[in-house]
C-alpha cells in the first residue's frame, strides 16, 4: 500500500490550498511533484545551455543531461536503447510524426489502417487524414458492450491491414484494451502496431517488448512531468527507414546549396532546439514513478476505481460508462447524472471543490457509439484519496438536489 498522505505532501498545489480539493482530472493532466519542479528550476538555474556542438563545458553538460534523459525514458518503457526514443511535444505530435513520416512511405491506395472507435482524436484524426491523402481506408472497430473486444478487432484485420492504432487505456472507458491479442493478430497479418499510451504511462507498468508494439506514444504532462514534452518510442529498424518530417537545425548530417543529408534517428526527428529542461524534468518524473513502483501505483488506482464504481452505483441517477466490472479497469470512471447535462454537474461539483472534466473528451466517435453527447469523468493519480471519491459522491447528491428531478 502507498502512503498517499505522504505522497500528497510532495505536491505543492495541494499544500497551498486551504480548502479541501478533490482533483479528479489526472487523465487530462497530472499535478507536479516537487522533484519535477526542482529538476526544471535546477536545469535553468545551474545547467542552462543549448545542446550539441557547444565547445564549452556547460553545453557539454547540458547535452549529457538531455541524452541521459533519453536513456532514462528508454528504460522507462523497456526499449532496446536510447536510439529508439524520440522526444516530441506530446502524444499528438508523436502520432502525427508516425502518420506523416512512416505513413507516407508505407500507406497507399487499397491499404487499411485499423483503429477502435474508442480512440482519442489524437489517435484517430491523423489516420483519417492519412487515409484521405493516400487513398487508404480507415476501418473503425466497434465496441462490444461498451468495451474494446479482441475478437471484433481480429475480424477487422486482413492482409490489407498495414497498421493497427490502439490505445493502451481508454481515456473514456477507463479500461485497458486487450493489447496482447491485438498485437499478436496484427503481426500475423504483417501489420505494424502503434499504441497510444497517454493514459497508461503514468499509471501502469509499461514494457514495449512485452506489448510487442512497433510504436508507442505518450505525453510527459500526464505522467507528472512538464507540458511541452512527449515521447515516441519506435523500433530501431522502423525509425531508421523513416524519412524526416520536420526540417531545420539539429536534424541534418550535411547541408549544401542544392541538397541536404540527414542525421540518424532519433535526432533526425528532432528539428530545432528541443525542450531540454522538460526532457530532464521528464526523466525526474520517471524516477518519481519508479520510486513509488508502478505496480503499486496501478494497484492503488485500481482500488480507487473499484471504490468509485461502488460509490457511484449507490448514488441516485448515476449512469456509468465502460462497464461496471473490474476486468482491466484503470483509474478513471466516466459517468452522467441521468437527465442532466455534464457541464451543469461539473460546475456544481466545482463549487464544492471537486474538479472533474465534462465533455466529449476528444472522443466524438466513441460518444456517438455510447449514444451520449458528453460524459463527466473522474480520474485518479498517486495523490488521490478515497475521501476524494466520497466528496464526489456527496457532490453528486448535491448536484442532483439542485438540478431537481426534471429530465432535459
Partner 1 sequence: MTIMHELYREHLLDHYRHPRNAAPLTHPDAVAEEHNPLCGDRVRAEAKFSHGRVVAVTLETRGCVIATAAGSLLSEWAIGKHPAEIAALDYAVMQKILGATVGAGRAKCLMLPLEALRHAVGNAKTKR
Closer residue to partner 1 (CB): 230 or 342: 342
Start-end of H helices in 21-156: 34-42, 57-77, 91-97, 103-106, 125-134, 150-156
Kindly name the residue from 131, 213, 319, 362 that is annotated as catalytic: 362
Annotation says 319 is catalytic: no
Tell whether residue 395 is a contact of partner 1 (CB under 8 A): no
Near partner 1 by CB under 8 A: residue from 174, 266, 342, 381: 342
Closer residue to partner 1 (CB): 40 or 345: 345
CB of 146 vs partner 1, minimal distance in Å: 19
Question: d(Cα 34, Cα 287) in Å, to the nearest integer?
Answer: 12
Question: d(Cα 111, Cα 127) in Å, to the nearest integer?
Answer: 12
CB of 376 vs partner 1, minimal distance in Å: 12
Q: Where are the beta strands (DSSP E) in 131-251?
A: 137-141, 161-167, 192-196, 215-219, 230-234
Closest CA to 301 of 205, 196, 232: 205
Closer residue to partner 1 (CB): 35 or 372: 372
Closer residue to partner 1 (CB): 101 or 374: 374
Near partner 1 by CB under 8 A: residue from 374, 378, 392, 396: 374
CB of 398 vs partner 1, minimal distance in Å: 7
Closer residue to partner 1 (CB): 323 or 339: 339
CA atoms within 13 A on the CB side of 186: 26
Question: d(Cα 12, Cα 21) in Å, to the nearest integer?
Answer: 13
Near partner 1 by CB under 8 A: residue from 351, 369, 382, 383: 351
Near partner 1 by CB under 8 A: residue from 98, 156, 242, 348: 348
How many residues in the shown chain lie near partner 1 by CB under 8 A? 20
C-alpha cell at 179: 493489447
H or E stretch covering 99: none
CB of 187 vs partner 1, minimal distance in Å: 38
Near partner 1 by CB under 8 A: residue from 125, 317, 341, 385: 341
Which residues are within 8 A (CB) of 179 and not within 5 positions of it... i.e. 6 or more apart? 166, 168, 195, 211, 213
CB of 364 vs partner 1, minimal distance in Å: 8
Closest CA to 221 of 285, 287, 171: 285
How crowded is residue 53: how many other Cβ atoms within 10 Å of its Cβ?
10
Tell whether residue 347 is a contact of partner 1 (CB under 8 A): yes
Tell whether residue 404 is a contact of partner 1 (CB under 8 A): yes
Question: d(Cα 314, Cα 390) in Å, to the nearest integer?
Answer: 12
Q: 3-class SS at 205? A: coil
Tell whether residue 344 is a contact of partner 1 (CB under 8 A): yes
Closest CA to 32 of 223, 280, 170: 223
Near partner 1 by CB under 8 A: residue from 359, 369, 385, 390: 359
Tell whether residue 408 is a contact of partner 1 (CB under 8 A): yes
CA atoms within 13 A on the CB side of 361: 35
Question: d(Cα 399, Cα 190) in Å, to the nearest integer?
Answer: 51
Tell whether residue 394 is a contact of partner 1 (CB under 8 A): no
CB of 344 vs partner 1, minimal distance in Å: 5
Tell whether residue 401 is a contact of partner 1 (CB under 8 A): yes
Closer residue to partner 1 (CB): 235 or 352: 352
Could you list the residues that contact partner 1 (CB under 8 A)?
341-344, 347-348, 351, 359-360, 364, 372-374, 398, 401-404, 406, 408
Residues forming the active site: 362
Amino acid at each position: 500500500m502507498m502512503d498517499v498522505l505522504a505522497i500528497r505532501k510532495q505536491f505543492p498545489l495541494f499544500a497551498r490550498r486551504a480548502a479541501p480539493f478533490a482533483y479528479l482530472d489526472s487523465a487530462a493532466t497530472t499535478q507536479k511533484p516537487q522533484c519535477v519542479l526542482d529538476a526544471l528550476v535546477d536545469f535553468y538555474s545551474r545547467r542552462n545551455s543549448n545542446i550539441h556542438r557547444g565547445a564549452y563545458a556547460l553545453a557539454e553538460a547540458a547535452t549529457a543531461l538531455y541524452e541521459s534523459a533519453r536513456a532514462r525514458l528508454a528504460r522507462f518503457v523497456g526499449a532496446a536503447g536510447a536510439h529508439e526514443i524520440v522526444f516530441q511535444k506530446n502524444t499528438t505530435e508523436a502520432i502525427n510524426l508516425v502518420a506523416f513520416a512512416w505513413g507516407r512511405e508505407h500507406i497507399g491506395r487499397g491499404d487499411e489502417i485499423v483503429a477502435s472507435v474508442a480512440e482519442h482524436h489524437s489517435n484517430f484524426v491523423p489516420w483519417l487524414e492519412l487515409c484521405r491523402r493516400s487513398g487508404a481506408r480507415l476501418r473503425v472497430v466497434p465496441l462490444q458492450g461498451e468495451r474494446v473486444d479482441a475478437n471484433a478487432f481480429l475480424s477487422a484485420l486482413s492482409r490489407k491491414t498495414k497498421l493497427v492504432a490502439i490505445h493502451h487505456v481508454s481515456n473514456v472507458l477507463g479500461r485497458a484494451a486487450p493489447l496482447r491479442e491485438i498485437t499478436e493478430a496484427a503481426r500475423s497479418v504483417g501489420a505494424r502496431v502503434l499504441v497510444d499510451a497517454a493514459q497508461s504511462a503514468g499509471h501502469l507498468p509499461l514494457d514495449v517488448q512485452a506489448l510487442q508494439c512497433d510504436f508507442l506514444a505518450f505525453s510527459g504532462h500526464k505522467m507528472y512531468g512538464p507540458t511541452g514534452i512527449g515521447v515516441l518510442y519506435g523500433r530501431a529498424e522502423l525509425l531508421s527507414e523513416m524519412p524526416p518530417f520536420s526540417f531545420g537545425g539539429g536534424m541534418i548530417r550535411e547541408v549544401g546549396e542544392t541538397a541536404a543529408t540527414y542525421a540518424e534517428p532519433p535526432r533526425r526527428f528532432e528539428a530545432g532546439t528541443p525542450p531540454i529542461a522538460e526532457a530532464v524534468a521528464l526523466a525526474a518524473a520517471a524516477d518519481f514513478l519508479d520510486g513509488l513502483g508502478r505496480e503499486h501505483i496501478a494497484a492503488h488506482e485500481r482500488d480507487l476505481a473499484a471504490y468509485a464504481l461502488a460509490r457511484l452505483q449507490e448514488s441516485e441517477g448515476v449512469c456509468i460508462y465502460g462497464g461496471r466490472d473490474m476486468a482491466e479497469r484503470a483509474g478513471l470512471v466516466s459517468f452522467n447524472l441521468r437527465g442532466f447535462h455534464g457541464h451543469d454537474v461539473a460546475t456544481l461539483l466545482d463549487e464544492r471543490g471537486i474538479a472533474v472534466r465534462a465533455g466529449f473528451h476528444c472522443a466524438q466517435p466513441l460518444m456517438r457509439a455510447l449514444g451520449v453527447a458528453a460524459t463527466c469523468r473522474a480520474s485518479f493519480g498517486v495523490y488521490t484519496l478515497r475521501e476524494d471519491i466520497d466528496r464526489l459522491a456527496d457532490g453528486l447528491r448535491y448536484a442532483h438536489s439542485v438540478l431537481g428531478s426534471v429530465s432535459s
